[in-house]
Amino acid sequence: MGLGCLNDCLNFFANNMIGSGSKRNKKRKKGRGWRILLLVFLLVVFLMVGAAVALYFTLIFDLPRLTTLKDYQPYVVSEVYSDDEVLIGEFFIERRLIVPLSQMPKLLIKAFVAAEDARFFEHQGIDYWRILGAAFRNIEALEVVQGGSTITQQIAKSFFLTPERSITRKLKEAILAQRIESYLTKNEILYLYLNQIYLGEGAFGVAAAAKTYFGKSVQDLTLAECAILAGLPPAPNNLSPLRHPKKARERQLYVLHRMVERRLISPVQAIRAGAEEIRLRPKGPKGYHEAPYAVEQVRMYIEEKYGKEILYKRGLKIYTTLNFRMQQVAQKAVLKGLEEFEDREGKGKGKGQVQGALIALDPQTGYILAMVGGRDFAASQFNRATQARRQAGSAFKPIVYAAALDKGFTPATVIVDEPFSYIDVPGKEPWEPQNFDREFWGPITFRKALTFSRNVVTVKIAQSIGIDYLIQYARNLGIKSTLEPNLSLALGAANVSLLEMTNTFGVFAAQGYRAEPILITRIVDKDGNILEEVEPSAIEVISPQTSYLITSLMQSVIQEGTGQRAKALGRPAAGKTGTTNDTRDAWFLGFIPQVLVAGAWMGYDIEKPLGTHETGAVAALPIWLEFMKEAVDGKVVENFSVPEGIVFTKTDAVTGEPVGPKQPAKSGKVIFECFKEGTEPTIN
């Protein structure tokens, strides 16, 4: 029994021990499983944290430093102004004008914040609620209809990142946004944003956009205009009021609604702004507004002297001598003259592209007041007022006659208009100049010869004074083009520019003083430093007496000669027509006392004839007259002043002989002729 009991006890113990060992093994296995799971979880977390850290350091490894934001130096528009400070042209890579936040309307700032980042003043660079709300709206619409970027994130992208759409870029953007928030104040961020953001039509920043869309300074924007600009950032070109006015209007109302929601404006303000009529600035040619040929002259000068970097990026203010009103008048006059020519010649509008040009100067200062270099700058940038060299024809004759006055000739000197031949080059056929009418008038006075533009007499005068003397005289008056030493120069065979010729006539208008033509008076950089300033200067190149005499002779051209159409100006004026062989070039140059000289030209670029009757009087003079009528409107009517040393004597208008009580005029026509004192004829 004892042994049995022992066996039973051992069996019981063995059974119980085996059972509990099995349970312990099961528990042990279960614990080990949890530990493995925990280890795997910790490993995954560790790897994820490590990956996140590695990604973070990878992302920040090449992130730029934010110090550039403190020294904000963006590309800024260089502007060109007329003499009355009207903007006439711009040069830019990015059309941007920088203005401080203090000069921006508060409603403009509120409009952008309401539309682009309502919690801008509350978040630290990232608006998580905005991101969540945008995600729900995008899922609901099954497309991207709203972004979650804050203004600070937009600054980060604009200044430092590429526009690519990727998770990496968005992560970098978020990191930079938070850094920017800790580096700059909210106002500094807004200053950068509102000056940097692209708002369509080539305009960067709110100031440039205000000029582009409304033609006004940013300070003068209304609430309605502010709302339009604030609605542009999501899609500047698609929401442009110049291209898509309906979309721009819808976006404007959205911005006003958001401003009301944020209690930035009252509902009444929103209603009034929504009802306001918006006046948009018409879309014009990029950078060249009212005086394209003159603005192009400015561009070439500054680019050559200062370089493209300064011109296109440094925000220069370039002040010119152009008068805005005169420039507009000049452009209209040239186009009208070309259209009238096409009507006369039976050509379609613009067919064959006959060209015209006009230059107007202040003869006292040399200031260029108006410049038109062709009919259409967009079609051809070649400036026919400054770059073209064309034969001046009879417009050159006043230079010959002025030179002769300083060589002993007087307005009453008689020269015979008769057949004339001259051997220019030994062994070649003699040159036989002809008058325009192919006739010869016999003995005529110096005055009459210029009044009616007699070619043969002019050549004889040039031969008498000497061709070398004539060339030097022309140089002294301001002709810089090449002048060949032959007698055909007297008839305007040399190729000269309209600017040269107009400036030369300016010497006569300024009583003998030559002023160099000036287009730019001052260049100022964006910091207000004056880079260049030009003061007018003039030197006396001929005497006031000679100047007055040649002016008097050219008054006769208008009163009774080839320039009679100019009498319609209704005030004292002097001038000269110019027509070349085969009517390839038509000119008229003229001036009124002291204040204005202008020259007009018409011709084809390929130098073909304008037409049998298209002389300077018919083709060019009407352009000059149309311009001068409006340009001198409101100016006091004056006579040409008579300098000391000029005397007037009664003479026979035909023979030039003095007339007295006992010696009446043989022709029966008497005039009071002007002479330099001591050269007047006397009665024997």
The whole-model pTM stands at 0.80
Residues 6 or more apart in contact with residue 204 via CB below 8 angstroms: 74, 94, 95, 96, 195, 196, 197, 198
pLDDT at 1 over 60: no
Place of tokens 């979309």: 247
Distance CA 539, CA 542 (A): 9
297-309 pLDDT, tens digit per residue, is 999 999 999 999 9
Query: Which residue did the predictor score with more confidence, 40 or 258?
Result: 258
- Which residue has better confidence, 313 or 578? 578
Distance in angstroms (rounded) separating the CA atoms of residues 557 and 535? 34
**φ, ψ for residue 36, nearest 5 deg:** -65, -45
Q: Which amino acid is at 350?
A: G
> How many angstroms separate the CA atoms of 597 and 576, rounded?
12
Cα dihedral 476, 482, 483, 485 sign:
positive
The two structure tokens encoding residue 509:
């208008």
Separation CA 607–CA 619 (nearest Å): 15
Residue 95 has pLDDT above 90, yes or no: no
Q: How confident is the model at residue 286 (pLDDT cuts 50, 70, 90)?
A: very low
Determine phi and psi for 642, rounding to 5 degrees: -95, 120
Rounded to 5, what percent of the chain is helix, strand, coil? 45, 15, 40
Q: Residue 189 is encoded by which pair of tokens?
A: 């961020």
Phi, psi of 387 (to 5 degrees): -95, -30
Q: Provide, rounded to the nearest whole percent, the portion of the chain with pLDDT above 70.
A: 85
User: Each residue of 118-136: pLDDT tens digit?
Assistant: 889 988 878 777 667 655 6
The pLDDT of residue 661: 80
Does residue 56 surpass a pLDDT of 60?
no
Residue-wise pLDDT tens digits, 335-350:
999 999 999 988 766 5
Q: Output 184 or 600, whichever has higher pLDDT.
A: 600
Out of 78, 82, 240, 394, the active site residue is: 394
Question: 361-631: same fold as 92-275?
Answer: no
């009507």: which residue's tokens?
343
Q: Quick one: pLDDT at residue 131?
A: 65
Q: What are the residues whose beta carbons fall under 8 Å from the beta carbon of 537, sequence distance 6 or more?
A: 515, 516
Q: Which helix (H) or strand (E) holds 514?
A: strand 513-515
pLDDT for residue 163 is more than 80: no
Integer Cα distance of 671 and 151 in angstroms: 83
Q: What angle do CA 124, 134, 234 make, to 5 degrees?
A: 85
pLDDT tier at 161, thresholds 50, 70, 90: low
> So what's the pLDDT on residue 31?
65
Task: Say how far residue 125 (Cα) sits from the centre of its chain.
Answer: 41
Contacting residues for 247 by C-beta, under 8 A, at least 6 apart: 238, 239
User: Dihedral through CA 545, CA 547, CA 549, CA 554, nearest 10?
Assistant: -170
Query: What digits encode the pLDDT tens for the residues 222-258?
Result: 999 999 999 999 999 999 999 999 999 999 999 999 9
**Pick the residue with more confidence: 13 or 404?**
404
Q: Does residue 591 have a pLDDT over 60?
A: yes
pLDDT at 60 over 70: no
Q: Tens of pLDDT along 498-530?
A: 999 999 999 999 999 999 999 999 999 988 999
78 SS3 class: strand
Residue 314, phi then psi, degrees to nearest 5: -105, 10
Q: Does domain 92-275 have CATH number 1.10.357.10?
A: no
What is the radius of gyration, based on Cα positions, of the chain?
Answer: 42
The pLDDT confidence band at residue 594, using thresholds 50, 70 and 90, is: confident
H/E element holding 359?
Answer: strand 355-361
Q: Which of 81-90, 456-465, 556-565 is predicted least confidently?
A: 81-90
Residue type, 229: L
pLDDT at 460: 97
| Per-residue model confidence as pLDDT tens digits over 443-461 | 999 999 999 999 999 999 9
Q: What is the pLDDT of residues 469-499, one digit of tens each?
A: 999 999 999 999 999 999 999 999 999 999 9
Distances (CA, A) of 51 to 57, 171, 581, 587: 10, 14, 87, 81
Mean residue pLDDT of the chain comes to 87
Task: Report pLDDT for 181.
Answer: 84
Is residue 600 within 8 Å of 642, Cβ to Cβ?
no
Which residue stretches of 117-161 are H helix? 128-141, 151-160
Beta strands 78-81 and 87-91 are antiparallel
Token pair in block for residue 228: 């339009």
CA distance 603 to 390: 9
Lowest mean pLDDT among 134-138, 152-156, 427-431: 134-138
| pLDDT, mean of residues 153-181 | 71
pLDDT tens, position by position, 305-337: 999 999 988 899 999 999 999 999 999 999 999
Give me the pLDDT at residue 590, please: 98
Q: Are 327 and 81 in contact (CB under 8 A)?
A: no
Q: Give the three-class secondary structure for 520.
A: strand
d(CA 451, CA 669): 16
Q: How far is CA 96 from the centre of its chain?
A: 16
Alpha helix segments (H runs only) across 487-634: 498-509, 544-560, 621-631
Nearest to 443 by CA among 297, 654, 615, 635: 654
Task: Kindly tell me if the per-residue pLDDT of 677 is higher than 90.
Answer: yes
Instruction: Supply the angle between the helices 267-275 and 223-230 in degrees, to the nearest 10.
Output: 90
Say yes or no to pLDDT of 53 above 70: no
Asked if residue 628 lies in contact with residue 620, where contact means CB atoms within 8 angstroms, the answer is: no
Pairing outcome for strands 78-81 and 317-320: parallel
- In order of 23, 229, 441, 661, the CA distances from 536 in angstroms are 113, 44, 45, 50
Q: Please, what CATH class does the domain formed by 361-631 belong to?
A: alpha beta
Q: Which residue has the higher pLDDT, 57 or 627?
A: 627
Residue 13 has a pLDDT of 45
Q: Say whether pLDDT at 356 is over 90.
A: yes
As a whole-number percent, the residues of the chain with pLDDT over 90 amount to: 65
Q: Of 62-66, 174-178, 377-381, 561-565, give the range with the top mean pLDDT.
A: 561-565
Residue 667 appears among annotated catalytic residues: no
Q: Is 276 a catalytic residue?
A: no
d(CA 568, CA 575): 13
8 Å CB contact between 252 and 227: yes
Average pLDDT over residues 553-579: 97
Which member of 78, 79, 90, 116 is catalytic? Answer: 116
Nearest-angstrom CA–CA distance, 679 and 684: 15
Is the confidence at residue 58, as pLDDT, over 70? no
- What are the extents of the domains in the chain? 92-275, 361-631, 646-676
Give the pLDDT of residue 67: 62
pLDDT value, residue 531: 95
Pair of tokens at residue 498: 């309209």
Whether the CB-CB separation of 490 and 461 falls below 8 Å is answered with: yes
Q: Phi and psi dihedrals of 93, rounded to 5?
A: -95, -45
